[in-house]
Structure 1
Amino acid sequence: MMYRIGICDDEEACRIKISESIRNIALKNDIEVKIIQYESGIQVMDCEKPDILILDIEMEHIDGLKVRDLLEQTDNEVLIIFCTSHDEIMSKAYGRNVTDFIKKPVREEEIEKKLLHAINIINRRVKWICLNTISGLTKFKISDIVYGIAQGRYLKIYMLDGSEYFITDKGVSQLYEMLKDMNFARISRSIIINFENVNTIGDEIIMTDGVKLKSSRRMKKQIQEDFFNYMCKVARVERADR
């Protein structure tokens, strides 16, 4: 897999230094990368988006904090590593997709640690499945599946972007067997859910799209225990990556 690494800094010398470090890191760790340099925040928004963006905070016109906000509104897949020479700014720089901070002047050892951490996040989340739909064989990003419900002869799955698909070759049991090791749970005979896209589990299960689902009474306790274990696992992984 090739990783697109973006470097956004209005100082050319800094972009060049970070680019050289990334090439060394990629060679050392046997990672394929494509380096994309941006001279400004405007270029980030107008040009090809990276998987990981090393982003200077203090820039003219559009600063790094504004770029972060714009990316979160338009592209929630880009992971951000902020780069700054001012510690006091870091408290303002947290965000949903901000994974780390690098202090200027940059050191290759620090870039390596923060970059590999971001790559590990990408590796965990990018998984796909191919299923037959009414339109034909379709590729789905597993983390984007919110839940699935049996409807007549078909299984209907609901996606994060609001799209819906009828699966023609798999029932609830079959799809659950395929996905049960990827944080999916069966909450009744006719419904499976993705724990990654659950907001709340109580008397009702509230998904990230706001839909409320009911679990079967006999499965309720087990589902709550499984969700608790899932959240503990997520917390352990996050701690290990710090």
Structure 2
Amino acid sequence: MSVTERPLGVLIVDDEPLARARLARQLQAIDGCQLLGEAADGESALQQLDSLDPDLLLLDIEMPGDNGLQLAEQISTRPNPPAIIFCTAHDEFALPAFAVAPSGYLLKPVSVEQLAQAIAQARRLSKPQLQNLRAEAITSESATGRRQIKAVSRRGVQLLDVDDIRCFIAEDKYVIAHHSGGETVLDESLKELEAEFGERFVRVHRNAIVAVGFITGLQKGGEGYRVILAGTAQTPAVSRRLLAGIKSLLSEMA
């Protein structure tokens, strides 16, 4: 932290005393953070929000009374709301949580490394930027449906932009999304993904669907044809049954 940068004021909101104590200890190990207070429920959190004016909330979701999602929605309507990092044991709330554009979504038990990374991200977003993100998230979700896919691992929750995904490939019991940042394992079936995103992705093989917008051509090899995609080294195989349709699609795109 620079000499002129003030500490990041943090309010912990969690109904479990042990969870609050764990986060408080971890904050002590993160440079530039100042614990302003703790709250065990939404009502207490709102009161302390007014008196402490924190820069950041570490917010649980499952709590008595208003849960963390409801509290976040209330806070997001306030002038200059604080950044929010959800800290929860439940991965199923990830997509509704991101409708209020938090700076992070961490799964318990949260490590100090995960918390430090999420806080670093929160520092990079000013309060006006967070307000713009909230507005964009609500608008895009209501206007066009799902634009992102949730992936959950022990590192936390990752949201993938569908427009950035080159292909989905089924391997064993999993589906892997290949995108500009690498590859991510998903807990969704290829059939479900094809049904939802069939206008943007085309089936090329029983184990692969590819993004139409990233197709650049076909490559013939000793084992048949493979589709070439921009921005990835993946070249999914094209089945003989589907080859004619893929060639027709390429002709239309030319």
TM-score normalised by the chain length of structure 2: 0.45
TM-score, normalised by the number of residues in structure 1: 0.47
